[in-house]
A and B are shown apart, each in its own frame.
Chain A
Amino acid sequence: MIDIKNLLLEVPSLTINRITLHLHDHEYFVLLGPTGSGKSLLLDIIAGAYSPESGEIMLNGRDITHERPECREIGYVPQDYALFDNMKVIDNLTFGLRVHGVSHHDAYQQLKRLIKTLELKDLLQKRPEVLSGGEKRKVALARALATSPKLLLLDEPFSGLDQNLKDRFIYELKRIHDEYGIPTIHVTHNRIEAIELGDRVGILQHGTLEQVGKFDDLINAPKNEFIAKFLGIENVVNCRELNRYLNLPEDTTVAFTPEDVILLIDKGNGVDGIPVEIQQVIKLEKSLMITGLLFENLIKIKSNAKFSINGDNIKIKIKKYRRIL
């Protein structure tokens, strides 16, 4: 169990702004945020690279806020893997146990199960420099798990992998998390990873943890426009005329995806819908992506490709929308 309270650290370009976060046992927590939002810096603080100016980090009831990294019992897989190039894969894997005084032979015996689980046997005698990106990632993950940490930190573990490899890795990571049950903080800018892996998700922006919850809860009730857009809800509109159509209070901001919009077919007698002025239509494989002006707000609409567009104006209905809190 990890408890982070009011964590504050100012570095020249960024402030980790009083972050409070509680992780349950076995929880897989995904921290989502754009580049430069402070995700990696937060992991660095938790791992022990920096001492925060204020706040505390408790791991299983122990205050580790100002402990040295080697005393924290945290496994860390950075984005660039940080494999030790001067050692073979096997020496990378056994490193954590050897520095604790375990002999190389005993360390290898202890890690046999992990090596089997992650299918690393064929890589053991290789140097990190000859491994592929996926293999490096597996070695870095195994190395972090080797010392049985109380918390696992994963920094963008899938960046740079192609989709096939990413899918396989997500599956493997799920399996390993189920097997070892180590609470994990996984930082990424990719919401698909959050959907696939996260028991809960946190959104970080400019060093501030904006919202925490289950992914479905966040997407149904995003706290602000940034979160809505970051979670893939492309249309965020604050417009009096639209709110009148939707019977909402005047200053309400609503968010909806391009798929949430239905195009209404005008069969000549006029339809009662929300007018949109078309700006651009792009033909996709099975659909149309329409960019249009909804009372001077640019929105995107995804529609069935069979639908033919006549003229510059269409009428729409928004079948599902979220009110931004």
Chain B
Amino acid sequence: MHSNKKTPKTISGSISFNIIVWTTSILFILFFIVPILRLLLYDSPRYLLSQFLSPVNLEGIKITLLAATVSTVIVVIFGFPLAYILARYQFIGKKMIDAIVELPIMIPHTVVGIALLLVFAKSEPAGPLLSRFGLSFGYSMLAIVMAYMFVSGTYAIKTMEEAIKSVHPRIELVARTLGASQWQVVRMIIIPQISRSILTGGILSWGRAMSEVAAIMIVAPYVIPTYHQIAGIEVYNQFVSTGMKGAVGLSAVLIIISLIILIVLKVIQYQKIFYMPGVER
């Protein structure tokens, strides 16, 4: 239902303040948008379409989207308990755990790739374990998903942590005095109340995963046995082999796809459907 109420006008500030604030903001927006527009308008739409439909590019986009989506689902589901612990419990070493969660943002992502290889490659500690399940790490989709999880998990966990903190612990206490178990409280109250933040964290993680290239160059520059590559590496290859024109096509396609998905998710995020009741009737 739309409200007829108008947003009241705020009291106007000083002119110099407004000029500086607006000019700086506009410059920043231009800084973001001009290179993207330049890239999108570099060639004709027909050329972009042909690039999109090229089997190699299509496969690269598919791998990237699939791995980013799978890694996002995993970090949201498995990150929730960690976010809950960080939001609700006080314990020795909490600050250390908090720092570890934020560490992946700081590490150069080529280093992330090397670190993951040092744990999961065939000859490394966790390699035999993966082999026992018929999995291998290097040059696999598994490696891409895990690298994405490593570089993007922080965003989902931190967003959910802040959201859980915003639900007062007394709400949980009251729910429990009414007879709800901790599981029921999480399922019926916490998750519905922070659903938007879960989606926001997911979007941030997904976006971060989509943009990752460096770590993937180390762990899975291509996927065996298809020899397909994630879109980001494909762009680099095309830039190196055919120059600007080759790279621009796939880059533009990637931007358009990311933009469409981001807009769709943002629209869903602000819909009432995310205002779920605690229990279905």
Contacts and interface: CB of A to CB of B under 8 A. Distances in A.
A85 B173 contact: no
B91 to A, nearest CB: 16
Nearest to B181: A70
A69 interface: yes
B278 A91 contact: yes
Contacts of B169: 49
Contact of B277 (A91, A100, A144): A91
A104 interface: yes
Contacts of A76: 173-174, 177
Residue with the highest number of chain B CB atoms closer than 10 Å, among A48, A72, A84, A85? A84
Nearest to A87: B278
Contacts of B179: 70, 96, 99-100, 147
A98 interface: yes
Contacts of A85: 193
B275 A86 contact: yes
Contact of A80 (B168, B276, B281): B168
Contacts of B180: 70, 95-96, 99
B192 interface: yes
Given A48-B176, A86-B193, A99 B277 contact: no
B189 A86 contact: yes
B276 A49 contact: no
B177 A70 contact: yes
B2 interface: no
Interface in B169-224: 169-171, 173-181, 184, 188-189, 192-193
Contacts of A84: 171, 175, 188-189, 193, 278
Contacts of A75: 177-178
A286 B175 CA distance: 50
A99 B281 contact: no
A82 B281 contact: no
A49 B173 contact: yes
B279 interface: yes
B170 A69 contact: no
Interface in A61-118: 68-70, 72, 74-76, 78, 80, 82, 84-88, 91, 95-96, 98-100, 104
A44 interface: yes
B173 A69 contact: yes
A86 B168 contact: no
Interface in A23-78: 44, 47-49, 68-70, 72, 74-76, 78
B173 A48 contact: yes
A235 to B, nearest CB: 39
Nearest to A99: B180
Nearest to B193: A86
B193 A47 contact: no
Contacts of A88: 277
A69 B176 contact: yes
A214 to B, nearest CB: 29
A99 to B, nearest CB: 4
A74 B178 CA distance: 8
A143 interface: yes
A98 B176 contact: no
Contact of A104 (B171, B181, B276, B281): B281
A72 B177 contact: yes
Interface string B160-171: 000000001111
B192 A44 contact: no
A253 to B, nearest CB: 40
Interface string B269-281: 0000001111101
Contacts of A49: 169-170, 173
Contact of A82 (B170, B188, B276): B170
Contacts of A87: 192, 277-278
B278 A80 contact: no
Contact of B177 (A69, A80, A100, A104): A69
A84 B277 CA distance: 10
A245 B278 CA distance: 69
Contacts of A44: 173
A116 to B, nearest CB: 21
A146 B177 CA distance: 12
Contacts of A91: 277-279
A68 to B, nearest CB: 7
A95 B177 contact: no
A146 B275 CA distance: 24
A143 B178 contact: yes
Interface in B246-281: 275-279, 281
B71 to A, nearest CB: 28
Nearest to A79: B170
A229 to B, nearest CB: 31
B13 to A, nearest CB: 30
Q: Which 10 A-B pairs have the closest CB atoms?
A: A96-B178, A69-B176, A86-B192, A82-B174, A99-B180, A82-B171, A76-B177, A70-B176, A87-B278, A86-B193
Interface of B: 168-171, 173-181, 184, 188-189, 192-193, 275-279, 281
9 contacts: A70-B178, A75-B177, A78-B173, A82-B168, A82-B170, A86-B275, A95-B188, A96-B178, A104-B279
Given A84-B188, A86-B278, A95-B175, 10 more contacts: A47-B177, A69-B173, A70-B179, A80-B168, A84-B171, A86-B189, A91-B277, A95-B188, A95-B278, A99-B178
